[in-house]
C-alpha cells in the first residue's frame, strides 16, 4: 500500500500539492504510488524559476529505469523555486517523495488550486 499523507492534496495524475508556511506557495511532487510504479528514478527535467503554468500543463519529465513520464501541473501559478538537489540525487524522489523529493514550489494564481483531491478521494481512486 502507498503512503498517502492526509494533509496533502492530490491529482488523478499522481502529483501532490503540499502547503507551506507562506500561504500562497505550495510544494509539488509525485506521490509515493507514482514513484513506486516508475521504479528507480535516474533523471528529472524541471522548469526554470519564473515559468507560469495552468492546471494540467506539462511542467517537466521524470525518467526511470522502466519509463519516461510527463509531469502535469496540479495548480495554476508561477514557479518560484526548483529543488536543485534532484539534479545530482534524483533518487530522493524514490526515497522521500513527500519530503526531500519535492520538485518545485509554486506561487498560486487566485483560485489556482481548485479541483484537487483529498487523501481519501485519492486513496479511493487507487483502490486502496
Among candidates 7, 109, 4, which has minimal Cα distance to 53? 109
**pLDDT in the model for residue 88:** 95
**pLDDT in the model for residue 8:** 97
Residue ranges in the chain whose pLDDT is less than 50: none
**pLDDT in the model for residue 128:** 82
**Distance from the first to the final alpha carbon of the chain:** 7
The string of pLDDT tens digits covering residues 17-52 is 999 999 899 999 999 999 999 999 999 999 999 999
Q: What is the pTM of this model?
A: 0.94
Query: Within 10 Å of residue 107's Cβ, how many Cβ atoms?
Result: 16
**Nine cell digits for residue 94:** 524514490
CA gap 19, 27 in Å, rounded: 7
**pLDDT in the model for residue 56:** 93
CA gap 75, 123 in Å, rounded: 20
**pLDDT in the model for residue 112:** 83
CATH topology of domain 9-111: OB fold (Dihydrolipoamide Acetyltransferase, E2P) (2.40.50)
Q: Edge-to-edge strands of the sheet including 68-72?
A: 41-45, 58-64, 68-72
CA distances from 38 to 12, 27, 43 (A): 16, 21, 12
**pLDDT in the model for residue 113:** 84
Amino acid at each position: 500500500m502507498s503512503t498517502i499523507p492526509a494533509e496533502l492534496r492530490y491529482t488523478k495524475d499522481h502529483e501532490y500539492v503540499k502547503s507551506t508556511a507562506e500561504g500562497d506557495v505550495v510544494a509539488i511532487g509525485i506521490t509515493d504510488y507514482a514513484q513506486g510504479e516508475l521504479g528507480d528514478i535516474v533523471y528529472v527535467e524541471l522548469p526554470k524559476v519564473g515559468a507560469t503554468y495552468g492546471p494540467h500543463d506539462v511542467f517537466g519529465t521524470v525518467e526511470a529505469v522502466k519509463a519516461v513520464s510527463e509531469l502535469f501541473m496540479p495548480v495554476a501559478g508561477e514557479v518560484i523555486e526548483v529543488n536543485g538537489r534532484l539534479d545530482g540525487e534524483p533518487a530522493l524522489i524514490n526515497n522521500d517523495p513527500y519530503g526531500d523529493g519535492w520538485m518545485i514550489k509554486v506561487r498560486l494564481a487566485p483560485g489556482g488550486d481548485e479541483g484537487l483531491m483529498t487523501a481519501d478521494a485519492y486513496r479511493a481512486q487507487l483502490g486502496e
